[in-house]
Chain A
């Protein structure tokens, strides 16, 4: 067995899995992966590795599972030191953790509220989502990246969700670059990085998945 065997249980369109793939790419790490069929049947390996939640992503490092995407990114940063993804200072790290927690709690569910609704509910969901992005815009300020001058942990945590934004924009009838221009500019800047450009899925694939989910939920 080679010294570091990395195996990723994955789902291509999941913003949470995208985070992990970008982190691995930023570190220049080689890994193997397996796409899970979340709608058909979860693999035995997934059920065994993550018996509590049976969710992706799961990173297996020499057979040992690490669970929860943010946790996995921390683990990758702590195990493979170069280049560092988290800030060097304790306060900077606590701010990064705070905003990662905010992103985890708000962004995906906020977006889901958009595709799950219509009419007045949709309008409310759209406004709440824009409010979430405005708060993140506040955190970005005039910096190039959420991490500061360099692309880092917090950028990785948020950029995965950006492949879902065009779908939210289409359903909600709004444009992020109009409502939150700094976030729009940040997305473009991040997409200029090789690790992000190679990892982010085509937005139309997300559109197709969400279309399927909306049919499943009887929304269209």
Chain B
């Protein structure tokens, strides 16, 4: 049996919650068959067994073995299924750049966005909005005139930011601003990515993201 057919026969399960899309984009880009299981808001015993350290989704279970943390999962997928749709650059320097900026997205976009969606006081949302715009402008500079962050091909860094692009409608609603007005190239990039088959089948409708924030804010006792 050739190694690529053997890999296709291996069992891949993704334990996730639909707003976290990073791993789905990677699996779809690679054209992989996988079982998708929603795990939140109530954490199942499988989740706590497979990720006993952080008890968080997403978790990829490949032949019974768990891989945790979304970008680590994306890199694992790229590593194992290296025969197709390469996500990380081959060149070590380009790879280091992609990892650095993905980490920036994780630290700076997630943090600032979270201040907007989960604010208790209006000034927190205003702070979050200012930080988010600053950080998105930096990323716009990194994108430059390229079609994707990877250049001509969609890749790891595009996936890292695309996971948050889905939350833009929620940031805009709760921060009262338009991201397109501030960062038009980034929105153009997001629309370009959304046209990819791997992405379009997974992207939630904008209202759904706003609804989920409203629902969670109520659960956390935030007005």
A: residues with CB less than 8 A from B are: 52, 61, 64, 66-68, 71-72, 74-75, 78-79, 90-91, 93-94, 97-98, 101-102, 135
Which of these, B72, B93, B103, contacts A61 with CB under 8 Å?
A: B93
A78 touches B92 (CB 8 A): yes
The answer to whether B188 has its CB under 8 Å from any CB of chain A is: no
With a cutoff of 8 Å between Cβ atoms, the chain B residues found around residue A91 in the complex are: 62, 65, 67, 76
Give the distance in Å from the alpha carbon of A66 to the alpha carbon of B92 in the complex: 10
B163 shortest CB reach to chain A, Å? 17
Give the distance in Å from the alpha carbon of A61 to the alpha carbon of B96 in the complex: 12
With a cutoff of 8 Å between Cβ atoms, the chain B residues found around residue A79 in the complex are: 92
B99 touches A71 (CB 8 A): yes
With a cutoff of 8 Å between Cβ atoms, the chain A residues found around residue B72 in the complex are: 94, 97-98, 101
CB-CB nearest 10 A-B residue pairs:
A78-B92, A90-B79, A94-B76, A75-B96, A94-B67, A79-B92, A97-B72, A66-B96, A90-B80, A71-B99
B: residues with CB less than 8 A from A are: 53, 62, 65, 67-69, 72-73, 75-76, 79-80, 92-93, 95-96, 99-100, 103-104, 138
User: Can you name the residue of chain A whose Cβ is closest to the Cβ of B51?
Assistant: A98
Q: Is chain B's interface secondary structure helix, strand, loop, or mixed overall?
A: helix
Give the distance in Å from the alpha carbon of A135 to the alpha carbon of B54 in the complex: 11
B211 shortest CB reach to chain A, Å? 31
Which of these, A72, A78, A102, contacts B53 with CB under 8 Å?
A: A102
With a cutoff of 8 Å between Cβ atoms, the chain A residues found around residue B138 in the complex are: 52
Give the distance in Å from the alpha carbon of A74 to the alpha carbon of B79 in the complex: 14
Give the distance in Å from the alpha carbon of A102 to the alpha carbon of B92 in the complex: 23
B93 touches A75 (CB 8 A): yes
Give the distance in Å from the alpha carbon of A68 to the alpha carbon of B96 in the complex: 9
B90 shortest CB reach to chain A, Å? 10
B96 touches A97 (CB 8 A): no
CB pairs A–B below 8 angstroms (5 shown): A52-B104, A67-B96, A78-B95, A97-B69, A98-B68
B53 shortest CB reach to chain A, Å? 6
With a cutoff of 8 Å between Cβ atoms, the chain B residues found around residue A93 in the complex are: 76, 79
Give the distance in Å from the alpha carbon of A71 to the alpha carbon of B96 in the complex: 6
B106 shortest CB reach to chain A, Å? 10
With a cutoff of 8 Å between Cβ atoms, the chain A residues found around residue B69 in the complex are: 97-98, 101
A49 shortest CB reach to chain B, Å? 12
Evaluate whether A74 and B96 lie within 8 angstroms (CB atoms) in the complex, with A91-B67, A98-B69, A98-B72 already known: yes
B99 touches A74 (CB 8 A): yes
B75 touches A94 (CB 8 A): yes
Give the distance in Å from the alpha carbon of A79 to the alpha carbon of B92 in the complex: 6
A64 touches B100 (CB 8 A): no
With a cutoff of 8 Å between Cβ atoms, the chain A residues found around residue B92 in the complex are: 75, 78-79
User: Can you name the residue of chain A whose Cβ is closest to the Cβ of B65?
Assistant: A91
Give the distance in Å from the alpha carbon of A94 to the alpha carbon of B104 in the complex: 20
Which of these, B65, B80, B100, contacts A68 with CB under 8 Å?
A: B100
A66 touches B103 (CB 8 A): no
Give the distance in Å from the alpha carbon of A79 to the alpha carbon of B65 in the complex: 29
Give the distance in Å from the alpha carbon of A91 to the alpha carbon of B73 in the complex: 10
B41 shortest CB reach to chain A, Å? 24
With a cutoff of 8 Å between Cβ atoms, the chain B residues found around residue A98 in the complex are: 67-69, 72
Give the distance in Å from the alpha carbon of A186 to the alpha carbon of B95 in the complex: 31
A97 touches B103 (CB 8 A): no
B75 shortest CB reach to chain A, Å? 7
User: Can you name the residue of chain B whose Cβ is closest to the Cβ of A135?
Assistant: B53
Give the distance in Å from the alpha carbon of A102 to the alpha carbon of B68 in the complex: 11
